[in-house]
């Protein structure tokens, strides 16, 4: 004879107690309510962005959806030893609203998507804003435009700089085929890390050029003469005396 506190789980054919069935029902109800809440917020966020001038699929994407799924779940609590496994059908959500922009990763320009949050009538995208305040959607659109422009400009400057560097290397390679001409990294406390082009001869002597990609010019940065460095003090004095 069946226990009146138990009933048949139609999915897996096992008996659930009344308490277990309540846990299943609560889980389903909670998921349904959450799905409705997130669906409402998602629709509201999209409407706010569009109203502020954002263009869907250009400035942002929205792939939010709700879906009814059936999965094996573990419900209950370990602290009071009430956990159990059962098959549950419930509504889940996936996807979100994400802003679209470019991102320069120091070598290439990529398309990126950035999460955006909603709070009342304001929004937040920390990756674009570089701070944590919630702001008006129209302000966020301005910041998105500025951010994207900076990323594209940084990439264009990178391409221009690399193109000029390659032309300088090619020029001195043709002029001095016996020398090793290559780019190197230098560092100073005033400008940080920067690139130079070095023309190094078989003797070990070299000339280094700093690059100005904006004006498309190179200028002397450092020079090293092996013979000069190997001279004694007396030889240097005589050399200077004969100049």
Query: Are 9 and 75 in the same domain?
Result: yes
Residue 216 resides in a domain: yes
Q: What is the pTM of this model?
A: 0.76
Q: Is residue 169 one of the residues assigned to a domain?
A: no
Whole-number percent of the chain with pLDDT over 90 = 78
The pLDDT of residue 237 is above 90: no
pLDDT, tens digit, 9 for 90 and up, residues 122-175: 999 999 998 899 999 999 999 999 999 999 999 999 999 999 999 999 999 999
pLDDT per position as a tens digit, 38-73: 999 999 999 999 999 999 999 999 999 999 999 999
For residue 13, what pLDDT is reported?
54
Average pLDDT, the chain: 91
Q: Is residue 14 part of a domain?
A: yes
Phi–psi pair at 29, nearest 5 degrees: -65, -40
In angstroms, the CA 134 to CA 121 distance is 9
pLDDT of amino acid 5: 41
**What's the total number of domains in the chain?**
3
Full residue range of the structural domain in which residue 224 is found: 176-241
* CB-side neighbour CA atoms (13 Å) of 20: 20
Please give the residue that has the higher pLDDT: either 131 or 205: 205
Task: Give the other-Cβ count within 10 Å of 59's Cβ.
Answer: 19
């Amino acid at each position: 004879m069946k226990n009146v506190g138990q009933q048949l789980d139609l999915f897996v054919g096992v008996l659930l107690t009344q308490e277990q069935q309540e846990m299943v029902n609560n889980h389903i109800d909670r998921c349904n309510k959450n799905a409705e809440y997130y669906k409402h917020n998602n629709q509201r966020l999209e409407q706010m962005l569009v109203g502020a001038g954002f263009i869907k699929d250009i400035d942002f994407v929205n792939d939010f959806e709700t879906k009814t799924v059936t999965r094996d779940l573990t419900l209950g609590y370990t602290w009071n030893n009430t956990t159990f496994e059962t098959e549950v059908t419930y509504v889940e959500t996936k996807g979100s609203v994400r802003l679209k922009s470019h991102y320069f990763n120091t070598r290439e320009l990529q398309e990126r998507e950035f999460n955006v949050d909603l709070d009342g009538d304001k929004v937040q995208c920390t990756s674009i804003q570089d701070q944590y305040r919630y702001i008006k959607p129209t302000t966020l659109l301005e910041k998105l435009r500025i951010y994207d422009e900076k990323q594209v400009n940084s990439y264009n400057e990178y391409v221009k700089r690399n193109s000029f560097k390659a032309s300088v290397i090619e020029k001195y390679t043709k002029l001095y085929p016996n020398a090793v001409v290559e780019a190197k990294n230098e560092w100073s406390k005033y400008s940080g890390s920067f690139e130079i082009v070095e023309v190094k001869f078989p003797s070990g002597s070299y000339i280094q050029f700093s690059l100005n990609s904006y004006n498309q010019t190179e200028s002397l940065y450092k020079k090293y003469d092996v013979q000069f460095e190997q001279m004694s003090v007396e030889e240097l004095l005589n050399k200077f005396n004969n100049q």
